[in-house]
Structure formats: C-alpha cells, structure tokens
Structure 1
Amino acid sequence: MAIMIKWFPPSWFQIKTKQKVIYIDPAYLRTYFKNYPKNIEFSRWPEEIDGLPEELEKADLILVTHNHKDHCKRVTVDRLARPDTLIVAPKRCVKALGKEIKIISPGEEIT
C-alpha cells in the first residue's frame, strides 16, 4: 500500500492512500505558505475564509490535537470535510467547530 505524506509547515500534514485522505491539525498560516508552488494568496486571521490551497481533497478523517484557534477553525474543517468525514478532537474544540465531532481524551484509543 502506497502512502503519500505532505507537510504544510509548520504544523499540519496530509496523509493519502489509494482509499483514504487524512489531515492532522489542518490550519491556514499565510506566512508559511508564501512560497507555495502555485503562489496562492492565503487569508489572514480573522478573515472568514479558510486560506487553504485550492487543490486539497476532502478528508475521510480529520484529527485535531489541540484547541488553538488556527486548528479549531470551523471554516477550515468545513472546507476539508464531507458529510461522512470523521472528525476527532479534544472536548475543548466542540464549541469552536460547531459540528458533530468524536471527542478524544488524553491516552484514549478509538477504532
């Protein structure tokens, strides 16, 4: 099984296989994307746009590890999620994301 891992500096990843797309801590951070190959203009906080590269696929799974405002941003998660995307995040992200998420606690394992 081939796995493609793409790093979006400084803090998030896209992991792809033939069957799945996973994002870990997706966040827009305009200053880190200024040299992105397509020279896309990204948003600045607090604009209500996601500031992500246009070509990103919808996710099967989105993992949010902490409740910083750049990761628990509803507009970002909405752009990357399909209706059936599983979103796993700490309880402190529930209010900010405003959607159904699977809450995970430190040390907890889910399947």
Structure 2
Amino acid sequence: MGFKYDEVEITWLGHAGFMISHRGNIYYIDPFKIKPKEKADAVLVTHEHFDHLSLEDLRKIVKPETYLVAPENCRDKLKLLGSGIIKLVKPGDRLEVKEAKIETIPAYNVNKFRAPGVVYHPKEEESVGYVIELDGV
C-alpha cells in the first residue's frame, strides 16, 4: 500500500519507479526491477537509461492498448516491445491520457557527472519529468 488521497493511490516501486491507481486506471512511471504487477493503462518514461526504460519490466505490464509516454530518445527501445501506443513528448508538452492531465517538464543534471565536464543527463537530450493531475489532485 502506498499513499492514498481521495481516489488517487501512489505506490513507490523502488529506485525511480511509481505506480498510480485512479478509478481503475493504472499508471506507471519508470518501472524497474518490479515484481509482476497490474497491467498498465499508461507508462510514463523519463529517459532512455536502462534503469528508467526497462524492456524486461515493461513486458510484465504493457498490453496492446497501453499508452507509452516518453521523450524522443526512447523511441527505438519502445518500438522493440511490439506492443502499446507510443506517444513521444518533449519538455513543455501537455496531454491527456485516460483521465490523467499530464504536463512534461525539463529534467537534466547540472552537478552529477559521468566524466569531468560530462553530466549524466544533459539538457540537450530533452529528458522529462511529469506533473500529473487526476481529478484536481
């Protein structure tokens, strides 16, 4: 069990992963190393790194009608699933998926480096974070 407010329940799945349930719809964000869970109505992916876009984990929860919302840098990996409806986004986009109003925001590092002068998540990759609204919550 996670945090519940009104009809929205948010469960942390470990690492950067979350599951949100609302009125029978299931939304995942960055599922990674998850135990088999409920099938997804939508999966939101922040960027292409293996611990945020895990095909192994997506195969556990994606069905043909699942929306796969992700930035352009995830396109090729998501196509490998062969299932789901891909919706590509960039920072500043707004969309509705099922009953969720979703806004994408820029997500990048300025102080975490993989090598001197090279950040893990550069702004140019257009990775995203998500602001999700469900019934005003």
Query: Do both proteins adopt the same fold according to a TM-score greater than 0.5, normalized to the shorter chain?
Result: yes
Q: Equivalent residue of 1:59, what SS? A: coil
Deviations 1:6-27 (A, max 9, x none): 1122311001123200101111
Task: Map 1:30-109 onto structure 2 (within 5 A).
Answer: 52-54=34-36, 56-98=37-79, 99=82, 100-109=85-94
Asked whether the equivalents of residues 5 and 14 of structure 1 are also in contact (C-alpha less than 8 Å), the reply is yes
The alignment-based identity, stated in percent, is 34
Runs of 4+ that moved beyond 6 A:
none
Asked whether the equivalents of residues 58 and 81 of structure 1 are also in contact (C-alpha less than 8 Å), the reply is yes
Give the gaps of 5 or more residues in structure 2: 1-5, 97-137
Asked whether the equivalents of residues 24 and 63 of structure 1 are also in contact (C-alpha less than 8 Å), the reply is yes
Q: Which letter maps to 2:26?
A: V
Write the distance in 2 (CA, Å) between the matches of 1:69 and 1:96: 10
Q: Equivalent residue of 2:41, what SS? A: strand
Task: Give 1 or 2: higher strand fraction.
Answer: 2
Give the gaps of 5 or more residues in structure 1: 29-51
The alpha carbon displacement at 1:69 in A equals: 1.3
Write the distance in 2 (CA, Å) between the matches of 1:57 and 1:5: 14
Q: Which letter maps to 2:90?
A: S
The alpha carbon displacement at 1:63 in A equals: 0.2
- Higher normalized contact order (CA 8 Å, seq sep 6+, divided by chain length): 1
Asked whether the equivalents of residues 16 and 52 of structure 2 are also in contact (C-alpha less than 8 Å), the reply is no
RMSD value, Cα? 1.5
TM norm structure 2:
0.58
Deviations 1:10-60 (A, max 9, x none): 3110011232001011112xxxxxxxxxxxxxxxxxxxxxxx213x10010
Greater CA drift, 84-93 or 97-106: 97-106
